[in-house]
Amino acid sequence: MQFTAKEINLLLNGTLEGNPDVKVSQLAKIEEAQEGALSFLANPKYEAFLYTTNASVVIVNEDLIIDKPISSTLIKVKDAYSSFSILLERYNSLKLNKKGIEEPSFIHPDATIGKDVYIGAFAYIAAGAQIGDNTKIYPQCYIGDDVKIGNDCSIQAGAKIYHDCIIGNKVTIHASTVIGSDGFGFAPQQDGSYVKVNQIGNVVIEDNVEIGANTCIDRATMGSTIIRKGVKLDNLIQIAHNAEIGKNTVIASQTGISGSAKIGESNIIGGQVGVVGHVSLAKGTQIQAKSGINKSIEEENKKWGGAPAQTYQSYMRSQVIIQRLPEMERKIEELQKLIKRMQENLPK
């Protein structure tokens, strides 16, 4: 896609200085921009780049005082950062605006497909599945029996959703993520073998959730594994059966939430964290990367760290003391010597 400076200025309702016909075809940071790129300057810290950049067009704040010659075409607006965000949105919605049903795809006659959808080639929509309006199902996705997907969702290439799962509106699921695979439940037998516990529940994902790539959310044994409204999950995360992730909680990559754990609202959980099964985390809990949570957290809005996790302050203190351990050992030895000497010198 290519636009002239003039077209962009019209969209942003700004003031243009320089060549209105110069063309841009990509967006770039001001310090990295090449010819043909559109950039912006919002932070005065980067002002020096304005005089050296190769960007063809730069969006700037209208109150910026320019005191050297500039080769780029300028578009002056009230708030350069917001204007650039508008362009980003616009760019992405044009770039990613796929529509229609590509062939070959597999849509079971008993599936229900909404208006203005995109269904990529090699996507599979099983019997009883429902796909909402404006939803995009990218190539090679699997939408199992009786799955319900709401409106305005984006299910990226190769995501797999097992039967009976329910996805809300405005949900994004990235490539190769698996929703609704069997929970990990096996009953030990006398002879050392295990018998599978059938997992007949499902996964419910509420509105405005985004889930990264290669993440796994297992279906409940019975009932539902639930991802509440507004949750954001990164890549390679494990959510086990019957877990519940509270509204607006954010979880970073490679974290694992065990079975039946209830993560509270507005939690912020770092990467590579492990949470054991059947615990509850209070609203506003924050967990440092790599921590291990092995009990419920009842007080709200606290920060935790370590494995097993302590309050953040106590964790930081422990870390400091652990580094002082060699010194502690030396002190104890000195005390032992000192006392020995004192004892020898004591009047008998």
Binding to a second copy (CB under 8 A): which residues in 266-285? 266, 271-272, 274, 276
The 3-state secondary structure of 140-176, one letter per residue: CCEECCCCEECCCCEECCCCEECCCCEECCCCEECCC
Query: Would you give the DSSP letter of residue 170?
Result: S
For the purposes of burial, counting CB atoms within 10 Å of the CB of 188, is it exposed (0-12), middle (13-18) or buried (19 or more)? exposed
Q: 278 an active-site residue?
A: no
Please give the residues from 162 up to 181 whose contact with a second copy meets the rule CB under 8 A. Answer: 162-163, 172, 174-176, 178, 181
Interface pick for a second copy out of 59, 167, 205, 240 (rule CB under 8 A): 240
Nearer to a second copy by C-beta: 21 or 329? Answer: 329
* 321 lines the binding site for a second copy (CB under 8 A): yes
Nearer to a second copy by C-beta: 20 or 128? Answer: 128
Interface pick for a second copy out of 214, 303, 311, 312 (rule CB under 8 A): 214
Residue in this structure with the two tokens 């203190």, named with its chain if needed: 317
* Alpha helix stretches (DSSP H) within the chain: 5-12, 47-50, 80-95, 312-323, 325-345
* 323 lines the binding site for a second copy (CB under 8 A): yes
- Least distance in Å: CB of 41 to a second copy? 14
- Least distance in Å: CB of 65 to a second copy? 26
Catalytic entry in 108, 163, 174, 241: 241
CA nearest neighbour of 253 among 269, 264, 231 = 269
* 222 lines the binding site for a second copy (CB under 8 A): yes
Query: Binding pattern to a second copy, positions 92-131, x when CB under 8 A?
Result: x--xx-----x-x-x-------------xxx-x-------
* 254 lines the binding site for a second copy (CB under 8 A): yes
* 317 lines the binding site for a second copy (CB under 8 A): yes
User: What's the distance, CA 80 to chain centroid?
Assistant: 26
HSE-CB of 66 using CA atoms within 13 angstroms: 19
Contact 113, 123 (CB under 8 A): no
User: What's the distance, CA 37 to chain centroid?
Assistant: 28
- Least distance in Å: CB of 13 to a second copy? 20
Please give the residues from 75 up to 94 whose contact with a second copy meets the rule CB under 8 A. Answer: 85, 88-89, 91-92
Report DSSP letters for 181-225, one per residue: EPP--EEE-TTS-EEEPP---EEEE-TT-EE-TT-EEEPPSSSEE
Interface pick for a second copy out of 11, 42, 64, 157 (rule CB under 8 A): 157
Interface pick for a second copy out of 3, 118, 142, 304 (rule CB under 8 A): 142
Could you give the residue numbers annotated as active site? 241
